[in-house]
Structure 1
Amino acid sequence: MTRKFFGTDGIRGLTNQMPMTAAMAQKVGQAAGAHFLRGQHRHRVVVGKDTRLSGYMMESALISGFTSVGMDVVMVGPMPTPAVALLARSMRADLGVMISASHNPYQDNGIKLFGPDGYKLTDADELAIEALLEAEPKLAPASEIGRARKIEDARGRYIHAAKLTFPEHLRLDGVKVVVDCANGAAYQVAPAALWELGADVVAIGVSPNGLNINDGCGSTDTALLQRKVVETGADVGIALDGDADRLIVVDETGRVVDGDQLMALIATGWKRHGLLHGGGIVATVMSNLGLERYLQSQDLTLERTKVGDRYVLETMRAKGFNVGGEQSGHIILSDYATTGDGLVAALQVLAELVVTGRAASELLHLFDPLPQLLKNVRFQGGAPLDTQPVQAAIADAEARLSGSGRLVIRKSGTEPLIRVMAEGEDEGLVAQVVDQICEAVKAAA
């Protein structure tokens, strides 16, 4: 059965347009609350958010929905997505909610839901909640309406948990780190955790105003971080996105290091220390073929999934892997977290820097990626990928890349975009086939 509102990462859209309206958020609160009202205990939901202006409106609407069906609400304020997942589990909540559109601009917002185990909801749970969205809510009697309260130690709890993932015998003394928090959810916790571990911290993207989240900063726009690392003579730069579940790194020369290189580094380091499970890692079809070849050279495997961190995690749990993620920097280390955690992943990278004593430029570039090109084509409606001209263009591209490259074409799960990616030995051919398919999609869209 197809989900109507949930995409690959919760419900997301332009604020004050369906489905990102206050009225819809209230319904989501009622539906999700009703779905998780199980047993006779007093039910609780942990609600966090990033720093975008619409977070206040969405938070109030969700609280109204949850309390109206009898669920108590614990508000933690601006916090990373992985922190909400962690707190939902550690506080024995029935549900965790993160209000965020991740790396999107401030105009967008989203609702991410976590179960009592701290994991994102299954497809079955999301379908059940969608069914309840269409039904009349069963409101609690006046005496059983939920209560809402804020907790003041949420940041401290998460900082402590993140620091525990850093090897106990190591310190970051003498390591100069520039951290770009994207004016987002980690603007307080990430610099604090790094400083407490001994690092010399230069923090940027830590002045949120509700409108500047992910704006010219963070993991999707690293130019500012690259300049700052070089200007300050830092050893390394760390870029998070708006809800801090992604990590991109910049070495001391200003060169960007993506999620594929970071997963390779963590996997080989953990293998060396006897910590890696599953004999390899899990990544999506978007990860570079160079990563796969490098892992093979290290006697490690790469298990590929469709795009979406939830599918990476499902495979990790099913097959016993403890490292997985996406090229975009969404890295899941299941020994420590139930979802991607940019700060925790960064601490593993920093640990390798300290242990090896090598410069970031030497340590972080483990393989040469094959030429890879990704382009997005926006469409207004319909199903352009099902049209004959687009299918013909795809078939021709696959034939031309046969034996020397890969082609991945998919509809975005969070935006009205068709994503066209190709990679191969011949950079010119890769560009040609991507442009060919994009033109066909534009004509059909």
Structure 2
Amino acid sequence: MARKYFGTDGIRGATNVSPMTAQMAMKVGMAAGAHFLRGGHKHRVVIGKDTRLSGYMLESALVAGFTSVGMDVVMVGPMPTPAVAMLTQSMRADIGVMISASHNPFADNGIKLFGPDGYKLSDDAESAIEALIDSEVDLVPSAQIGRARRIDDAQGRYIHFAKSTFPENLRLDGLRIVIDCANGAAYKVAPSALWELGADIVAIGVTPNGTNINDGVGSTAPQTLAETVVASGADIGIALDGDADRLIVVDEKGAVVDGDQLMATIAASWARAGRLAGGGLVATVMSNLGLERHLAAQGLGLVRTAVGDRHVLEAMRARGYNVGGEQSGHIILSDYATTGDGLVAALQVLAEVKRAGAPASEVLHRFEPLPQLLKNVRFAGGKPLEVESVKAVIAAAEIELEGRGRLVIRPSGTEPVIRVMAEGDDPGQVERVVDRICDAVRAAV
């Protein structure tokens, strides 16, 4: 059943426009608090945020909602999404909240919820909370209203956690690293963790002003990072996104290394150490066919899921894998975290570079990706993928690519767009196939 407020990753939208308003945030706090009021213990919620100007507004509204139903609130300020997940679990909170729109522009914001185990909420839990949002939630008597406080040691707790995931027998001494924090949630913790592990740090994207998050910096805009790596003579560049659950790397030559290459690097390292669970990794349908072929050559498998780190994590938990992620840089290492963690993934990549004693350009480019082309077709309404003429063109394209490539066509989960992606050994064929399908969709709508 379609949900009214929750999308693929919480509630998200333009701020001060429904549903991302202060009024809605307060209702979410009331509803989520009421849903998790179970048992006679004193209930607690951990709230973190990124650096968007609207974070102050939404944080205050959420605090009002949670305390009105009797929950105590612990505010940790700007912190990565995975840090909020970790703190929710380690502080024995009943629920965790991250206020962020990830890699979106500053004018957007979002609310992500975590359960007491640190995992994102199930569809059933989100549906139950939606029902409470649209109903009257019981408020507690005055004497039972929750208390709210800020804690000062949250950053230190997360830095200590992140450093604990780095191999004890290694240090980053001798590595010059450019770290790009996207003017976002990790602008303090990521440079500190890398420096404490011995690296020589050049930090960019660490001067947030409320409106510059993801603006020309971060994992979705790696050009600034690439230029800085080359200009400063750095060994490697690390780019996080606004809430630091995504990682993209730049090698010493300024070449971008995407999530597929990073997952291949980590999987090979863990397989060599005998710690890769499941005999491979989990990725989405968008990961390059070159990754699948590369893993197969090493005797490793690839399980594909629908787009979204949530689907990746579900498959990892169900099938017993401990490495998974997305081409875009969401990398989940379940030995350490319950969600994607850009800094923790970066530390595993840096450990492999350090062990190899070779340039990042040699260590991280594991396979030659197949030519891949993605185009979007916007439509006003209807279901164009169910039109017979479109189905016929898609079927013909699948036959044409069989054995030589792959086709992925899906509606966007956030906007009225059909995404058409093809990849294959012949780039000309890939382009022709994508264009034919896009033309068919346009004609149908």
TM-score, normalised to structure 2, is: 0.97
2:343 equivalent in structure 1:
343
2:126 equivalent in structure 1:
126
1:61 equivalent in structure 2:
61
2:152 equivalent in structure 1:
152
User: Is 2:167 aligned against 1:182?
Assistant: no
Between 1:271-280 and 1:228-237, the stretch displaced more is 271-280
Aligned length: 445
Q: Describe how 1:345-424 pairs up with structure 2 within 5 A.
A: 345-424=345-424
Counterpart residue type for residue 112 of structure 1: K
2:235 equivalent in structure 1:
235
User: What is the percentage of aligned positions where both structures have the same residue?
Assistant: 75
> 2: CA distance between counterparts of 1:379 and 1:76?
41
Counterpart residue type for residue 195 of structure 1: W
SS in 1 for 2:219: coil
Q: Describe how 1:432-443 pairs up with structure 2 within 5 A.
A: 432-443=432-443
2:71 equivalent in structure 1:
71
Shift of 1:373: 1.1
1:34 equivalent in structure 2:
34
> 2: CA distance between counterparts of 1:234 and 1:375?
34
> 1: CA distance between counterparts of 2:202 and 2:379?
41
1:5 equivalent in structure 2:
5
Per-residue CA deviations over 1:260-307 (Å, capped at 9, x if unaligned) read 000000000011112211111011111111101111111111011111
Change (3 A) 1:292 1:153: same
2:317 equivalent in structure 1:
317
Shift of 1:404: 1.6
> 2: CA distance between counterparts of 1:146 and 1:412?
39
Change (3 A) 1:415 1:183: farther
Shift of 1:42: 0.7
Per-residue CA deviations over 1:178-232 (Å, capped at 9, x if unaligned) read 0110010000000000000000000000111111111111100100000000000
Per-residue CA deviations over 1:381-420 (Å, capped at 9, x if unaligned) read 4433334444344333323322321111122233443322
CA contact (8 A) 1:280 1:300 kept: yes
Counterpart residue type for residue 160 of structure 2: H
> 1: CA distance between counterparts of 2:18 and 2:395?
36
Shift of 1:379: 4.1
> 2: CA distance between counterparts of 1:44 and 1:444?
52
Change (3 A) 1:93 1:346: same
SS in 2 for 1:278: helix
Counterpart residue type for residue 164 of structure 2: L
Shift of 1:443: 4.8
2:117 equivalent in structure 1:
117
SS in 2 for 1:152: coil
User: Is 2:261 aligned against 1:261?
Assistant: yes
SS in 1 for 2:206: coil
> 1: CA distance between counterparts of 2:273 and 2:427?
37
Which structure 1 residue ranges, 5 or more long, are not aligned?
none
1:44 equivalent in structure 2:
44
User: Is 2:144 aligned against 1:165?
Assistant: no
Counterpart residue type for residue 183 of structure 1: N
> 2: CA distance between counterparts of 1:31 and 1:189?
31
CA contact (8 A) 1:373 1:422 kept: yes
Between 1:171-180 and 1:424-433, the stretch displaced more is 424-433
> 1: CA distance between counterparts of 2:401 and 2:173?
49
Shift of 1:378: 3.8
Change (3 A) 1:39 1:319: same
Change (3 A) 1:440 1:146: farther
TM-score, normalised to structure 1, is: 0.97
> 2: CA distance between counterparts of 1:320 and 1:400?
35
CA RMSD across the alignment: 1.3
Between 1:201-210 and 1:396-405, the stretch displaced more is 396-405
SS in 1 for 2:5: coil
> 2: CA distance between counterparts of 1:419 and 1:317?
28
Change (3 A) 1:228 1:31: same
Which structure 2 residue ranges, 5 or more long, are not aligned?
none
> 2: CA distance between counterparts of 1:262 and 1:32?
36
> 2: CA distance between counterparts of 1:436 and 1:92?
54
Change (3 A) 1:141 1:191: same
Change (3 A) 1:444 1:57: farther
Shift of 1:72: 1.0
> 2: CA distance between counterparts of 1:114 and 1:379?
34
Per-residue CA deviations over 1:72-112 (Å, capped at 9, x if unaligned) read 11100000000000000000000000011111111111111
